[in-house]
Amino acid sequence: MKLNNGIMSLLPVMLAGSLGCGAPAQAQPATAAPDDTQVDVHQLFATTCGWCHSDGGRAAGKGPQLMDTKRDDEFIRNRIKNGKPGAMPAFGTTFSDAQIDQIIKYIRELKRSEG
């Protein structure tokens, strides 16, 4: 029985044939992830939160005023992530932790608008 020898001798030929026809792999250009970095938190707040937290969070609307809040960071993070059933939607899947950090910072820095 010498069948094996016949198959083995074909292998190098098959391999050589398959090498030549591979199209060069297209490298995907690395695009910057749209989240985490460089988010315009003012814009984000205005479009996502502003219709309930009025005047950029400076005044009460459908939701309470956020400026000068006495809540701690953990409370605020928790409220943004989980919302409050029947009152505020949850944003835990919308924003990354880094983005929520920026929102908390934004709320802390709110000042009464001039005038």
φ, ψ of residue 55 in degrees (nearest 5)? 50, 45
φ, ψ of residue 47 in degrees (nearest 5)? -85, -30
Binding site for ligand HEC (CB under 6 A): 48-49, 52-53, 62-64, 66, 69, 71, 76, 79-80, 84, 87-89, 91, 103
Least Å distance between CB 114 and ligand HEC? Answer: 23
Least Å distance between CB 83 and ligand HEC? Answer: 7
Least Å distance between CB 22 and ligand HEC? Answer: 48
Closer by beta carbon to ligand HEC, 48 or else 96: 48
